[in-house]
Amino acid sequence: MEFMEGGDLRALLDRFQQKRKPRGFDLDKARIALQTAQALTFLHSLDPKVLHRDLKTKNILLTSDLEAKLSDFGVARKYTFTSMTAEVGTSLWMAPEVMLGDRYDTSADIFSFGVVLSELDSHLYPYAEARMTDSGQRVPDAALLQLVAMG
C-alpha cells in the first residue's frame, strides 16, 4: 500500500477555497482530472469491466506532487448487466439511474466523474450554491437528490 502524503482531493479543494485560490482549471487540476479519467478508463477496459461505484473527491488521493490515485474500492464490482441495480455510493455524486435503483453501467462512474470535475472547477461540494428562487435559501440535500433523480 502506498502512502499518499498529499491527502485527498476534497481536502486540497477545501484549502483552495479557504485561501481564495481562483476558481477554474490550471495545469495541476487538469492533470488530476486526466489521471482520474485514466484510472476509470483502466477499470472500464478490464474484462469484465469494473465499476468503482463511489467516485468522489474524498476517494482521489494525492502524492506530494499532486499525482492522483483512485482509492476506496470497497463497493467496486465487476460489471454484470443483470446485477447492477444496487443503490451504492455517496448520494451527491450518484447518477440518477443508481438513485432510482435502475440498471446502470460504466456511465454511472462517468456521471460521478462529471461531479468531480465540477468540484475541481469550483472548489465547492456538489450543488453547494443551489438556492431556492423564492427565498434564496440553500436547497436541502433531499430536494437536490430528487431533482437529480428526475433528470
Q: Which pTM was predicted? A: 0.83
How far apart (Å, rounded) are the C-alpha atoms in residues 117 and 126? 10
Q: Give the number of other Cβ atoms within 10 Å of residue 41's Cβ.
A: 10
Is-catalytic flag, 14? Answer: no
Classify strands 68-70 and 77-78 as parallel, antiparallel or unpaired: unpaired
> What's the CATH code, domain 9-150?
1.10.510.10
Residues 111 and 117 sit within 8 Å (Cβ to Cβ): no
Cβ neighbours of residue 136 under 8 Å, at least 6 residues apart? none
Q: Is the peptide bond before 126 cis (omega within 30 degrees of 0)?
A: no
- For residue range 89-141, what is the model confidence (pLDDT) as tens digits? 677 888 888 888 888 889 999 999 999 999 999 999 877 777 888 888 888 87
Residue-wise pLDDT for 46-84, tens only, equals 999 999 989 999 999 999 999 999 998 767 677 765 554
Contact (CB, 8 A) for 7 and 37: no
For the chain, the structural domain boundaries read 9-150
Q: Which of 28, 54, 72, 121 is catalytic?
A: 54
